[in-house]
Amino acid sequence: MIGGIVILLVAVWIYRAAIRAKKGNAFMWVAIGAVTFFVVQFFMVQLNIYLMETIKLWGTEGAAVVVKGADRVTQTSQGPVVAFLLSVYMELAPPLVGFLAVAFLRTLVIMQEKPTLQNLFSDIKEIFSGFKKVFTTPEN
């Protein structure tokens, strides 16, 4: 769910950058950005699965335990706080790392600028202010 919202924002962000940089075929750049986002997100999910399997093996002396219908609190022996933080990481890391990969693609390839913090995340404020303008009604 979070990845779906992020990819929509990334698509608008890449399109605006391609138009501003006067790159030909802006939709091609949007497709490249989307593919980059999904590929990085896929590999991050695979890394998270590997991490989860590794954490499960810590508490079982080398034998994998399959717990059906259980959440991460019952699967890990570290307790509810660590399980909560692990859940938050597993949910937010793939879209955020995908977003960062697209930010570098946008800055280095599309905009052809140095990867500073300001260049990496430029235009995000303008996108949200544009959304705000669309959803506000004019007062008469």
Express each pLDDT in 42-89 by its tens digit: 999 999 888 888 877 665 554 455 555 455 555 555 677 877 888 888
Residue 113 maps to a domain: yes
Tokens of 109: 């390839």
Q: In this structure, are residues 77 and 70 in contact, taking their beta carbons and an 8 Å threshold?
A: no
Residue 98 maps to a domain: yes
Instruction: Check residue 123 and give its pLDDT.
Output: 82
Domain span at residue 120 reads: 2-133
The number of distinct structural domains making up the chain is: 1
Tokens of 50: 């590997």
Residue 139 maps to a domain: no
Residue 49 maps to a domain: yes
